[in-house]
Amino acid sequence: MDISRREAMGVAATGIVTATVVPAALAAEAEAGFKKHKNEDFYGPDGKFLVDKAKQAFYEMMDFYHYPIVPRLKTADFWVADFGLGKFTEVGMGGIFWVNNEKDNYFGHEIYLLPGQMIPEHRHVKTDAAGPKMEAWQGRYGWVNLYSEGQPTPGVEDRIPPTHKECCVAKTEKKLMPGEVDMLGGAEKWHWMKAGPDGAIVTEYATFHDGKGLRFTHPKVSL
């Protein structure tokens, strides 16, 4: 939508947009929501995880949010995981490491989650190559609930996915909306996130990621 010069100056001065007109087609699409998948959509008759099917679901979500599918997202740099549990629609994710610089200790990651999908609870411990990874997350599209160590949020037990009911440690819940930023509560703290009903895309800013420092609470989770 075009705005007048007077309106533009007002936005520049205050940094706040008070109202936005959403085109009818986009509003209708948002109202309908992103389609939901069945877990069996992502597994073959032999139970094997179908990587291409999982990637296609994320491409569809990117289209839903009008998120640019740049050429690199069509390469092996874009990865998906069900963490060995066979429950991709409950525990899984897509991701791409835009940069992971050990020498200068910085990392840029995009996280993709289908509706209701969680990243399994985990933490990052110190390794020979890196200190305990520190992270911050910026909501981009959709929303997620972030979970950290601390006083349990009332009612949180009802929102912990079945696979993690018995092992979950991080039960302090915070909703992260597009444009908002939140940070890990401290070094080596347990944490996880779960997408809202239309999935989510989250940008992560962090120190160097050394996979050797990754730990999960669920005893059967694997990469």
Q: Domain with 43 in it: what CATH number? A: 2.60.120.10
| 81 lies in some domain | yes
| 19 lies in some domain | no
| 17 lies in some domain | no
| 75 lies in some domain | yes
Residue 127 reports pLDDT greater than 60: yes
| 209 lies in some domain | yes
In the chain, how many domains are there?
1
As a whole number of Å, the end-to-end CA separation of the chain is 45
Residue type at 197?
P
Q: Which residue has the higher pLDDT, 92 or 28?
A: 92
Token code pair at residue 28:
């209708």
Q: pTM value? A: 0.86
Residue 103 reports pLDDT greater than 50: yes
- Return all residues near 31 (Cβ < 8 A) that are at least 6 apart: none
| 61 lies in some domain | yes
* Residue 32's pLDDT band (cuts 50, 70, 90): low
* Residue 192's pLDDT band (cuts 50, 70, 90): very high
Mean pLDDT for the stretch of residues 76-103: 98
CA geometry: angle 114, 65, 68, nearest 5 deg: 105
- pLDDT attached to residue 31: 57
| 186 lies in some domain | yes
Structural domain span for residue 93: 36-216
> How do residues 177-188 score in pLDDT, each as one tens digit?
999 999 999 999
Distance, in Å, from the CA atom of 37 to the CA atom of 173, rounded to the nearest integer, reads 25
| 6 lies in some domain | no
